[in-house]
Structure 1
Amino acid sequence: MHCWKHINVKKQYGHHRLFLFSAIFMLLAFSFFYITMTAYRDSPVTDRLFPLFLAGFLMVYPAHKLLHFLPLARCHNRLRFKLEKQFGVIPLLSIRITEPIIKLRYMIALTIPFVVLNSILIMGGLIYSTYRHYFAILLAYHCGLCVIDLLYVKHLIHSPKKAFIEETDKGFEILISYDNESETVLSRNFTHLP
């Protein structure tokens, strides 16, 4: 196997641009969901369960990380967990894969939190419409967390189907076997023929 492509989203986009993407995505998610919910069910909102909202806000990040882990649970011996502090205060849990895994499993691990948690939050907003502002804030916060995952998925979609993914400290590498590379080159050449 050899490296087909090396990708480091944080280095490619930079921290400031990633923060800006995340903030824009959060604002768009909040605006779209809240306006849609208000148009759908125009019932009054209440702030009665604010402590429960705060608990939910604190649980979004651990739930996000747990959902990343579930598709990789069968490969638990290939995972390395590390607790880091962002800005010296905020604890962040990183999950690193120490050995290559197939691309499809890695993409599922990246997208599962976005699909599952956002679906739960949207359903919560639909069922409990008087608390739709809480669900809109939680949905926006979670969408902001998912920006980096979605950028990685964007890069992985265009990689060869039978690729393997290996994470490094500098991002991740898309690995392909030499047989896979010759198939990819042949398919590229033959698709452009008349």
Structure 2
Amino acid sequence: MNCWKTINLNKEFGLNRLYLLSFLTGLVSFILLNVPFTIVHGSISVSETGVLPLLLALLFLPTVHSFMHILPLIMMNKRAKLVYKRKNIVFPVMNYYTKKPLSKKISLLVAFAPTILITIPGLMATYMFVDYYVYFLLFTAVHIAVSFTDFLYVFNVSKAPRKCFVESTNDEIAILIKSQN
């Protein structure tokens, strides 16, 4: 197999720029989602008992987000290696590395899994639980910010040839194509 492209977002954009773009994406998503949900829910008084559960959910969000990437691999019986890193005291991060390269469709599914399994139910909960809609909306906006790098990977992988394979290594993704021999 030949390497078609290697994607390393930390080298391309820089870590500070990724954090800034992620923060701005979360802020814009909160603003754009808050307006229609405020119109739908009207002048409802928001319950103040949702602050502590929101903080707990935000504390566990990076770990749950990483697990949502791994869940489709578990369901499809794909072997993956889990790496648990602690960059800070507060935010543990789980990374996964697959034993074999994945097809383009499976890698796109793995990248979109947290959006499907966390963001969409978060938007549904925002609509359904009127007294706590602001907390669910904040949680969903923060998750959209966390998913920003996933969207960048999806954008790059979607440009790849149709029958390619995607292999994840240390902080980068290699897009492989079969040689024409």
Identical columns (%): 26
d(CA) in 2 for partners of 1:170, 1:108: 19
Cross-structure match for 1:162: 163
Cross-structure match for 1:122: 123
> In the TM superposition, what are the counterparts of 1:9-28 in structure 2 within 5 Å?
9-28=9-28
Asked whether 1:111 is paired with 2:112, we answer yes
Any runs of at least 4 consecutive aligned residues in structure 1 with deviations exceeding 3 A, and if so which?
Answer: none
d(CA) in 2 for partners of 1:116, 1:170: 23
Q: Deviations over 1:53-108 (max 9, x none)?
A: 2332234333322221121113443x111111224653111111232111110110
Gaps of 5+ in 1: 183-194
Cross-structure match for 2:41: 41
Shift of residue 52 of structure 1?
A: 2.4
Q: Given the two structures, how large is their TM-score scaled by the length of structure 1?
A: 0.85
CA contact (8 A) 2:84 2:92 kept: yes
d(CA) in 2 for partners of 1:2, 1:150: 25
Aligned residue identity for 2:143: H
Report the RMSD for the aligned CA atoms in angstroms. 1.7
Q: Secondary structure at the match of 1:40?
A: helix
Aligned residue identity for 1:54: L
> In the TM superposition, what are the counterparts of 1:39-188 in structure 2 within 5 Å?
39-42=39-42, 43-73=44-74, 74-77=76-79, 79-87=80-88, 90-179=91-180
Gaps of 5+ in 2: none
Flag the structure with larger Rg: 1
How many pairs align? 179
Shift of residue 165 of structure 1?
A: 0.6
Q: Secondary structure at the match of 2:48?
A: coil
d(CA) in 2 for partners of 1:70, 1:116: 10
